[in-house]
């Protein structure tokens, strides 16, 4: 079975400061990891993914994430947060041993960037 944990319900950060959103996962096989962002009354927007290769993945809007196999983590980071980054962030995992296209999501982390 595959699972994802986002330990923080909310992260508060001042504009211009670094932003980190934490994610840990559990899978049977090799993980495929994704980050999505959701703005109010909108669907999910894809930010970045880790499939294989470099542990540091760069994505949209200046976001990046670091894959750490030993800690089973995939934390999302942004060096300098913007007020417009305030949204709900979801980490998701797909197990390469699982059938089909099922994504398992974490509970989400609300990010609030204050001016």
Partner 1 sequence: KAGVTQTPRYLIKTRGQQVTLSCSPISGHRSVSWYQQTPGQGLQFLFEYFSETQRNKGNFPGRFSGRQFSNSRSEMNVSTLELGDSALYLCASSWPRTGLKETQYFGPGTRLLVL
**Site residues (vs partner 1, CB under 8 A):** 32, 34, 36, 41-46, 49, 51, 90, 92, 94, 96, 99-108
How many other CB atoms are found less than 10 A from the CB of residue 114? Answer: 11
Buried b (16+ CB within 10 A) or exposed e, 95-106: beebeeeeebeb
Please identify, using beta-carbon distances, which residue of 85 and 95 lies nearer to partner 1: 95
Give the DSSP per-residue string, 6-75. Answer: ---SEEEEETTS-EEE--EEE-SS-EEEEEEEE-TT--EEEEEEE-SS-SEEE-GGG-EEEEETTTTEEE
Give strand pairing partners of 76.
21, 65
Please identify, using beta-carbon distances, which residue of 78 and 90 lies nearer to partner 1: 90
């Amino acid at each position: 079975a595959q699972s994802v944990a986002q330990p923080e319900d909310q992260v508060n950060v001042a504009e211009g400061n670094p932003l980190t959103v934490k994610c840990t996962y559990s899978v049977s096989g090799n993980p495929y990891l994704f980050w999505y962002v959701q703005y109010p009354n909108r669907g999910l927007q894809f930010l970045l993914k880790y499939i294989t290769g470099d542990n540091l993945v760069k994505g949209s809007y200046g976001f990046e994430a670091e894959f750490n196999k030993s800690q089973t983590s995939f934390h999302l980071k942004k060096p300098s947060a913007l007020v417009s980054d305030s949204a709900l962030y979801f980490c998701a995992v797909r197990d390469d041993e699982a059938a089909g296209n099922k994504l398992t999501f974490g509970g989400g982390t609300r990010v609030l960037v204050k001016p």
